Structure 1
Amino acid sequence: MSTRLSKRILSPAFCGLFALTFFAMPTQSARADADKYSQTLKSTVWIITSDADDETSTGTGVFVDKEKRLILTNAHVVGDSRSAVVFFPDLVNDLPKVKRKHYLDNVLKLAQPGKVVAIDRKLDLALIQLPKVPERAKVIELAESSTKTGSAVDVIGNPGGSDVLWVNSSGTVRSVYDKKFKSNHGEHEFHAVEIQSPIKPGDSGGPVVDGEGKLIAIAQSFSPQNALVSYCVDVTEIKSFLSSNWKQAPLPTKQLLDSANIKHKKHTTGHYEIEQPLSSGKSQVVFVAKDTEYFKRADVRKIWSLVSVSKEAPTSELMMRLLRQSSATKIGSWAVEKNDSGEHLVIFVAKLDATAPDEALEGTIEYVARIASAMNKELNPKTEEKTAKETLASWLAK
């Protein structure tokens, strides 16, 4: 059986219709992408914060609640700050003014002072509440559920290394999975959306939307191994965070020390050093950690004092004494650590609720100093001073 091929001549009208349809498809797609960008842009903000040392950082956020005037972003964008400055895009004929300088030159007109009202460092999420929002601002619509691998996504961010804001990037979902990892901002654990799209510093907290412009995640970080691979916090985590009992971020250590009028200086390690006076007229050096530690939603502030440094490991007798005293102290415990030089450090450590008031911090510093000073006397007894006659006799006896 043979197959006969026949040639058909297509009419000019058919060819024209085919060409029109073929070239119209990309045009329609581009228009849809532009409309989606314009829609998402009205929900996107630029965020500026500063820490206790007046170091400024920037990031991105997304408008998620009209009634409560809430902006969602990453916890690492706000850091330990309790306030933030928020800019919505300045639109002219639905097109944003993109120059960063335009916004900085018009702070009084375009900016809103925001208050950080909730934070979850594990999820790396935070909420900023505004006193008001522009009329043209639109609350973003959240996707019903997690996105799927292979889906197309778009991200809007404000990269710090650029002179322009409201930058759009397109990409593809590589995978959706539970991720637990450490970053420069701490330890994180959340349902992650991994995308093939670059996220730059400053893009953090920006909206990641699907083909319908619905929020499926917010940008979180990029892979240290591959700059084109980025991690985002999934919408299921966002919904859980928004519906949970909010927890405020702890005050920065420096701000708390200043509020309590505790004299301090910044150590070379970045921690805060305090010369705590004692009733004996002497003083004991106490350190307060520059950053808070956390587990899930529990935040603690570390306070410690160094008692002794020795090349030799502590004896079993000393270890038992430290163990017994640890069980008897009201707060804190003894720790023995080994530094890079191979020396053994005996330290008294207390961990205080990081949201506790400055009076609690002041009392804990005093308590740590008293316990450390008492042990210091035992481990480092003062050499008895000899009289001139006793010194002469000891020298002659040699």
Structure 2
Amino acid sequence: MDNPLLKPYLLGDLALPNRIVMAPLTRTRAANPGHVPTALMGEYYAQRASAGLIISEGAWVSEAGQGWHGAPGIYDEVQGAAWARVTAAVRERGGRIFAQLWHQGAISHSSFFTDARLPLSASAINPEQQVHLAGGLVRTETPQAMTVADIVQTIADYRHASRIAKDAGFDGVQIQAGFLYLINQFLNVSTNQRTDRYGGSIPNRARLLFDILDAVLEVWPSERVGVKTGPMTNELGLFVANSSTLATAEYVYAKLNEYQLSHVFVMRQMADLSATPLAALAGDAVIVHFRAIYSGTMILNVGINPVHARELAAHDDRILVAFGREYIANPDLVERIRVGAVLNDQRPAGYYGSSPEGYTDYPFLPEEPPTILPKSGEAVLP
């Protein structure tokens, strides 16, 4: 039987050669004073250009949005010129790449800022998470609650970063509105206790996301804009699922359905949800639940191997599958899936750092016939 993952797909108006996506992955190879993408990053992405679509690692939309040592920005001309070299390298290999637009909000630290100011967030509430500094992990601090002027500036920052991404030759952008970061800090009732139009009700807490989306859509057509969102939770701190988590996500997906977007990016739940309000969304159940709300293209991620991915793609022709760690270790992942080859072992020591080791030195398939994987897999969606 033909593998549906390998079939072409029209993502909005962008023709993809397959339904395999390289997930956004923070790899910290931009550890320089200007947070400028490096030539090494260009080589890394170009190696993986056979993906139907690459979504870049998160890139900060402003200096205020930083919060992870070694991550890149996409808010000034120098960064934009460097990203243009990355996109040119991908395009030279026949690839397509979206930029992920990122603001970390409270998942940051005062030591990132020259004036030692506190990071920004919805409210002055410590999310009780960890931050990646040059010297290792530290605990988050209590952030500054954003003023309305801060919010207006942040929306403008997303618009500006969108223009830089477009000028740099990206094929589109994805708004990071999930996991622990700024937009989700507004969505999450535990970290948003505002009493103005950006807090309180679900529509108010979701307002920042849709104000940002509207700003990005001033630069890009809707079919070139995606959103990463969903009831992604952490097992610790203030991102543990609460009584509003699911209803908030349902509202967001329903409202996103009003836009003709490129995609929404959905992360399966790998944490133990058994004692949480999200117990019914474990594994593939999250896909079933939100497919009933959102009718457009979904890009699925987390805990999906190539066999399971094939089954998911066969079940729903509006699904693409994103691979993260598999793409770290297998620059030729599409070809390995095509022939059923064994995947390279990952080297976690190289996930983060500044060297090519564990980044651009993973082997491609040799010319001789590869070792073939057995034909077995997980259960598919009901």
Q: TM-score, normalised by structure 1?
A: 0.23
Higher RCO (C-alpha 8 Å, min separation 6) = 2
Q: Max radius of gyration: which structure?
A: 1
Higher strand share: 1
